Structure formats: C-alpha cells, structure tokens
Amino acid sequence: MATLEDLSKCVISGNVAKAKKLTQELIDAGVAPLDIINQGLIAGMNVVGVRFKNGEMFVPEVMVAAKAMSQGIEMVKPLIAETDMPSEGKVLLGTVKGDLHDIGKNLVGIMLESRGFTVIDIGIDRSPEDFIKAIKEHQPDIMGMSALLTTTMLHMKDTIELMKEEGLGHVKAIVGGAPISQDFADEVGADGYAPDAASAVDLCKSLLGK
C-alpha cells in the first residue's frame, strides 16, 4: 500500500502521474485528507524548497514538483471543508506594468502555497491601479510585486505610493526580481525584499510574525 513517504518522494522527483495515483490510493485507504496534504504532498515540496535554495534543484525541476503537489492537492481539496484548511496568511502577487515575466513570480506563489499561504496571483503587466483594485477586493496581508526589467521596476514605487494614498498602508509590500536590491526596496518604501523564492517565504513569515 502507498505511504505518505512514497507520496512525498513522488513530489520531490516530479512524477505527476504517480503522485496522482498514490494520492487516490491514500484517499481510498481512508487516510485523513489533511495528512495527505501536509505529511505527503507539502512535506515533499518542503524538501524541494530546501534543495532549490541550496542550488541542488533548478527551476524546471521545481515547476514539475509543484505540478505533482498541486494536482494531488486538487484531488484532496473536495474532501476538506474550507474552514479546516489552515492558512498562514494571504499574499497577493503580480508582475508590474510593462513586464511580461512570470517565472519568478510563479515560483514564489508555488513556494508560498506549499507553506500554507493563500495566494492570489493577478498575473503580468499590472498597473498600480490594478494592484490597488485587487488589494481592495481580496484584502491580503501582503502584496508582492515582481519585475525583471530595469525600465519597469519604477512602477513598484508608483504602486506603493498609491497604496498609501488609498489608505492601504497596513498591507505589507514586498518586491523581487533580477534588477531589484535591498537598497531599491528601501528607496521605494517597500516593507521587504527577497532575492529568491525560498527567501520570499521566510520574508512573508517574518513580516506576519510567524
């Protein structure tokens, strides 16, 4: 019979088909849904996160592992009441106006979800007004902006200024992307900066006092 450890290993190796098969076997065997998620699927993704941070795994491998995890979670979700899914906090993510890059942002979303955060991803090429509208609609604890181009990173400043004007300063603003630095984050008034996806999770946890 499939074990939770077997399921974790499938996530780590990025075997999507087998992860789905084992998830179904565990459901059929009556294993508690939250145990399947936390001790099987997410436990595997946590190992991936550590290996990625240490340079032992790379973006394509992380993406496949994340797919294995998320497909398993989708199968288990209908068995869990929404109230039972504990959330570490809600994070809104988007790539700024004029920028069409999303791999880094997607990785951050995957890592956050695997650590229990609720993630709302508003996509790419988002104006300051788009971010404000989404913040008002979804009421996140943290808003994360990504940019890969030096020409688009200045929109981060505009978004943070507009947040303050609209009275949304209580939402923490974090920034990331290849051209971004801690100095730039300080300059634009961001609450935090993360150089990579794994660090972004640690940053979100520390901002929320976890």
pLDDT digits (tens, 9 = 90+) for 189-205: 999 999 988 889 999 99
Domain range annotation of the chain: 4-84, 90-207
Q: Which residues 6+ apart lie within 8 Å of 30 measured at CB?
A: none
CATH for 90-207 is: 3.40.50.280
The pLDDT tens digits along the chain (210 residues) read 889 999 999 999 999 999 999 999 999 999 999 899 989 998 999 899 889 888 999 888 988 999 999 899 889 988 886 556 678 899 999 999 999 998 889 889 988 988 889 999 999 999 999 999 999 999 999 999 999 999 999 999 999 999 999 999 999 999 999 899 999 999 999 999 999 888 899 999 999 998
* Adjacency order of strands within the sheet including 172-176: 118-121, 90-95, 142-146, 172-176, 192-193
DSSP 77: G
| Residue ranges in 14-86 assigned as alpha helix (H) | 16-28, 33-35, 42-53, 59-76
CB proximity list for 3: less than 8 A, separation 6 or greater: none
Q: Please answer whether residues 181 and 153 qualify as being in contact, where contact means their C-beta atoms are separated by less than 8 angstroms.
A: no
In the CATH hierarchy, which fold is given to the domain comprising 4-84?
1.10.1240
pTM across the whole model: 0.80
